[in-house]
Amino acid sequence: MKIQCVIFNYNLPEQTDKTYDILIKNSFLPEHIIVVDNGSDKSPQALSTNLSLPFNVRFSGQANTTLQFLMTYRPSDYYLLITTSAKLDPAVNYFDICHQTIDELSESFGVVMASLIGGETEKITPEQSHHDLVHQTIPYRAVYSAQPIMTLVSHRLLSICYKKHAAYFNTDLKRGHGIDIELQHMALSHGLTTVVSRDLWVHWKTNQAHKLNLADESAYEYRCQAQAEMEKCFAKRYGEQWEIQFRSQFAKKNDTKMKIPTRSRYKFASLRQLWYRIKLSFFRLRKKSK
């Protein structure tokens, strides 16, 4: 089996090169690692860069362009997708664990996401916590809307998403928010595995570019815009009941209990988009007045 690694970078060359070095030490071959730069404009490119975009096309553009290129000209059985929010641990052999995971789940392999240590794990996605997972005997857990900062995904699932213009190929999700939910939805809709792994884990380094003043927008602007993009896209594509639909599907497919809202939080999507624009306008005015 062949695994193609992809490291997505924008203005964080040092973190990118550290990730690349660990993958090399783990026995991944250089020709099986693509380091794609998304038009870095506040820092030099990483030394390991071997695919460069001329300007920032946001995360969905970066992922869409890179994966279409790889699936056409260098297709693999599986793809290990890594963002700079993931700090790989030198004590973990990611090559061995990826192959072990594929062997265990190969019959219906869809997507496996890394469990997390640190960052905002306990606040945002506690079920994805590596520390929590080590206390259970089964090495995998179904988690609704897991953070996709390191994702092992099959060519089969990516091909489905490509045909549906979904997840990594949904360019309406410009900042990437919602890719995890739609990827999970596509996997479950086609009978494929979607779980978090106990043994495949990374440290979660949140908002690194923002903390180093290397992002092209503030963290607040990013969150507002990303949330607005997801809500507008999913309401148009799946209807305003999309969250109820996605959560119900997850609960049924995984035979698990979870909180399913009785009414849509995303009703009147167009009015919510207007509200986000108003909030951003006030935020920018306050910044200018300081």
pLDDT tens, 238-262?
998 899 999 999 999 998 877 776 5
Cβ atoms 37, 12 nearer than 8 A: no
Q: Using one digit for the tens of pLDDT, what is the confidence trace for 93-119?
A: 999 999 999 999 988 999 999 999 999
At residue 278, the pLDDT reads 74
At residue 255, the pLDDT reads 86
At residue 266, the pLDDT reads 54
pTM of the model: 0.91
Share of the chain above pLDDT 90, in %: 78
CA–CA distance, 213 with 221 (Å, rounded to integer): 14
At residue 79, the pLDDT reads 98
CB atoms within 10 A of CB 35: 26
Q: What is the DSSP string of 91-117?
A: T--HHHHHHHHHHHHGGG--EEEEEEE
Instruction: Considering only residues 258 and 131, tell me which one the structure prediction assigns the higher pLDDT.
Output: 131
Cβ atoms 10, 37 nearer than 8 A: yes
Residue whose structure tokens are 């503030």: 218
3-state secondary structure of 200: strand
At residue 256, the pLDDT reads 83
Average pLDDT value for the chain: 91
At residue 164, the pLDDT reads 97
What is the mean predicted confidence (pLDDT) over 192-213?
95
Cα dihedral 83, 84, 86, 91 sign: positive
| Pick from 217-226, 244-253, 271-280: least confident | 271-280
3-state secondary structure of 43: coil
What is the mean predicted confidence (pLDDT) over 67-77?
97
3-state secondary structure of 175: coil
Cβ atoms 198, 133 nearer than 8 A: yes
Q: Using one digit for the tens of pLDDT, what is the confidence trace for 154-175?
A: 999 999 999 999 999 999 999 9
Cβ atoms 105, 30 nearer than 8 A: no
Which structure tokens are listed for 170? 């949904």
Cβ atoms 224, 280 nearer than 8 A: yes
pLDDT-derived band at 199, boundaries 50, 70, 90: very high
CA angle 258, 120, 256 (to 5 degrees): 15
At residue 264, the pLDDT reads 57
CA–CA distance, 237 with 6 (Å, rounded to integer): 28
CA–CA distance, 4 with 28 (Å, rounded to integer): 9
